[in-house]
Chains A and B, each alone.
Chain A
Amino acid sequence: MIRALLIGATRFLVGGQGVWIGSAPSGAQRIYFANHSSHLDTILLWAALPPHLRRTTHPVAAADYWGKGAVRRHIALRILNAVLIDREGGRRVKGGPLAPLHDVLERGESLIIFPEGTRAFEKLPGPFKPGLYHLALAHPKAELIPVFLDNLRRAFPKGSLLPVPISCTARFGARIALAPGEDKAAFLVRAREAVAALA
């Protein structure tokens, strides 16, 4: 009920059509990685997936935003099936900040991550943090799908209170893979370019 309302409201305001350019929806285990420019990104990308994939796809959300307050926490955990991670105090968590993400992937389920780690002002994504590399290295079976979220930085930019109605799209690109022995920095640059190429 709340889920339908949330998706309905998102559709009404910002549309959020999924456009599959280089890949097709599939039940295979995946890590979707996207540019990050607004708090709506998580909901929009998740809602752009076909309903049967949403059940096993978990957005990764920052605990310092989505874990705050009962309502946000409820939306993140109960409705979006999100996994919360600690952006700052990660070292205190047993197994490092990525431990909850590894758990999800070990269960064979999929993730949505925003490797910039924070919302950007610019159209093209900023440099990627190494989390994506570590996940790709540890879970070679998971398909890496780049996603570009268009227009959200206009619809709900950093620092604004309300989203405005501007049609947004989620463009899904062709999967990339970590090459054997590929250098971390080189891989992260390539992953970032795969997202930027969809802009």
Chain B
Amino acid sequence: MTIGGLSLDPRMVALFGGVAGILILASLIGFVLSRRVTSEAGRETVRNLNARIKAWWGMVAVFALAFAFGKLVTLVLFGFVSFYCLREFISLAPTRPSDHRAIAAAFYVFIPLQYWLIWDAWLTMLTIAIPVYAFLLLPVLSVAKGETGDFLLRTAKIQWGLMLTVFCISHAPALLILNIPNYQNVYLLFFLVTVVQLSDVLQYVFGKLFGRHKIAPRVSPSKTVEGFIGGGLAATAIGAGLWWITPFSPLQAAGMAAAIVVAGFLGGLVLSAVKRSLGAKDWGTMIEGHGGALDRMDSVTFAAPLFFHLVNFYFTI
């Protein structure tokens, strides 16, 4: 299929058509609910739901563009996602003026470097650049200023931010460079993002409908056993149903989806604890209804590297 000189894979068009269909349905449900619900608490929930749906339309549109225009645009897009997430993280983490050089290196050297390494498909270096070289270099840049107060804390915060928002998130677009015979890797990225985000949404929905038992009331009060099991199983089933766009068999696709669901859940839990230890509820205010960008990407930070290495270990040549 060709639109304005741009060739689109019919399978991708069908997939995005499906996503748009789900969103249209969700928007309709949101609209009907906003007319029906009258209680104040219910209204608040519906408002939140509609804000989420609206933000989803924007995200899907951006993703569709990235998928249509290929690897370069996808990498640039994820580079900006990392940028905004790191900005949110560093803004909340109380660093000091004397950390300025280390933070500058994290933003201006390591974000472009990490995404360039993916562009260059230099697999070894992209898996060690931040865990080894940034780990060693950043404290060196800070120590030169001679401020020892909270040195370990400050250094750890910058390194954690860089690992989560740049290193971990970059493993999602890094799926594009894996060498899988006779396969278009862009579908793996679609599989990952769809399963992670649906798992988030379905856990939220199942939790709202059936949630009774809180899993970690102090860390993340909205996470319930019922939500996790119901939403997780539903997302795993949808992942299994998408096996035909992956190099996996239906059973393998279910296993992969389950791994993504569990890692995503744990990522959400850990980042929620990090956020609370910094004294905030939402990471930022960038996407309406979603808190910050990092609130949408928290599950991706854990799911992407795990999925990347599972695929790399079992399915590449």
Interface residues of A, Cβ cutoff 8 Å to B: 121, 151, 153-154, 157-158, 160, 162, 164-167
Contact = CB atoms under 8 A, between A and B. Distances in A.
A166 B90 contact: yes
A164 B107 CA distance: 7
A154 B97 contact: yes
B107 A160 contact: no
Contacts of B213: none
Interface in B83-119: 83, 86-88, 90-91, 95-101, 103-104, 107-108
16 contacts: A154-B96, A154-B100, A154-B103, A157-B97, A157-B100, A158-B97, A160-B100, A162-B104, A162-B108, A164-B100, A164-B108, A165-B86, A166-B87, A166-B103, A167-B87, A167-B284
Nearest to A150: B91
- 9 closest residue pairs by CB, A with B: A157-B97, A167-B91, A165-B87, A164-B103, A160-B100, A164-B104, A166-B91, A153-B97, A157-B100
A44 B98 CA distance: 22
A44 to B, nearest CB: 14
A11 to B, nearest CB: 12
A3 B232 CA distance: 49
A151 B91 contact: yes
Contacts, number: 37
A153 B98 CA distance: 10
Interface residues of B, number: 18
A153 B94 CA distance: 12
Contacts of A167: 87-88, 91, 284
A167 B104 CA distance: 14
Contacts of B87: 165-167
A160 B104 CA distance: 10
Contacts of A166: 87, 90-91, 103
Interface of B: 83, 86-88, 90-91, 95-101, 103-104, 107-108, 284
Contacts of A165: 83, 86-87, 90, 107
Contacts of B88: 167
Given A154-B95, A162-B104, 10 more contacts: A121-B97, A154-B97, A157-B97, A164-B100, A164-B107, A165-B83, A166-B87, A166-B103, A167-B87, A167-B88
B271 to A, nearest CB: 18
A162 B107 CA distance: 11
Contacts of A158: 97
Nearest to A166: B91
Contacts of B86: 165
**Residue of A121, A157, A160, A164 with most chain B CB atoms under a 10 A cut-off:** A164
Nearest to A13: B87
B141 to A, nearest CB: 12
A164 to B, nearest CB: 5
Contacts of A160: 100-101, 104
Contacts of B284: 167
A123 to B, nearest CB: 10
B128 to A, nearest CB: 24
Contacts of B100: 154, 157, 160, 164
Nearest to B98: A157
Contacts of B108: 162, 164
A160 B96 CA distance: 13
Contacts of B95: 154
A166 B101 CA distance: 13
A158 B87 CA distance: 20
A87 B90 CA distance: 35
A167 B292 CA distance: 12
Contacts of A151: 91
Contacts of B97: 121, 153-154, 157-158
A154 B95 CA distance: 7
A165 to B, nearest CB: 4
B286 to A, nearest CB: 9
A160 B144 CA distance: 14
Contacts of A162: 104, 108
**Residue of A121, A153, A167 with most chain B CB atoms under a 10 A cut-off:** A167
Contacts of B101: 160
A62 to B, nearest CB: 20
Nearest to A167: B91
